[in-house]
Amino acid sequence: MNIFAKVIYTTNNDIEKKLVEFFNLTKVKTGEVNIYSKLENDFNIVLINEENIKKGFDYLLKNYEIINFIGVGFSLPLDTLELNFGDIIIPNTFINQKNEVVFLESITTSNYDLNSFGLILNGICISIETEFKNESDFEKLKDFQAQIYDKESFEIAKTLKENNLDKSSLIIKIVGKDLSFIDNVKIILDLMI
């Protein structure tokens, strides 16, 4: 193997397009997953966009030695009083609707002062399997005491933990689904990659 990689993982096509452009990445023909790469110094910057988390990780673990892992995606707020669209959260606790919990012990992979970016650190994210059918479904999620919700973060965090990648990983969530806030994420990624 010995292809060292700093991996950026997303399940969102719009984020993928922005990050491919930002890092000037080239499409890798795999026939398996949607992946881009660029050799930089002694490692590859690898961007993968794959909704099937198991499939994405199987490919990554088979083909790369992962140095750092950063998941990037959108989330929506459960508590609208504290969060604004465009806020960036780096949660360290991930829950699913079965009340299973994954905790990422180390939220940063470098010695950067991420607080200086106005980030919200160490939040709780709950991942849902299906969209809400009614207001009651939404209200039930508030019982989990999470600040945000999405569809994929729990599965990503769980897979990181199972593969002993949790200490060199973080997951960045943008509140809302507006790409105009991606520039803030690019600055953070540029420092950490």
What are the residue ranges of helices labelled H in the chain?
A: 13-23, 53-63, 135-141, 153-162, 182-192
DSSP string, 89-157: EE-SEEEETT--EEE-S---SSS--GGGGT-EES-EEEE-SS--SSHHHHHHHGGGT-SEEESSHHHHH
Cα–Cα distance measured from residue 15 to residue 112, given in angstroms and rounded to the nearest whole number: 23
**Which among 122, 130, 135, 174 has a CA at the least distance from the CA of 151?**
130
Domain residues for the domain of 103 are 4-192
Q: How far apart are CA 17 and CA 7, in angstroms?
A: 15
**Tally of domains in the chain:** 1
**pLDDT per position in the chain (193 positions), as tens?**
578 999 999 999 989 998 999 899 999 988 889 999 998 888 888 998 889 999 999 999 999 999 999 999 999 888 766 788 888 888 999 999 899 999 987 555 455 555 555 577 788 999 998 777 777 877 888 888 889 999 999 999 999 999 999 988 989 998 887 766 666 677 667 666 6
* Per-residue pLDDT, 131: 76
CATH number at residue 61: 3.40.50.1580
- Answer yes or no: pTM beyond 0.85: yes
Contact between 89 and 73 under an 8 Å Cβ cutoff? The reply is: no
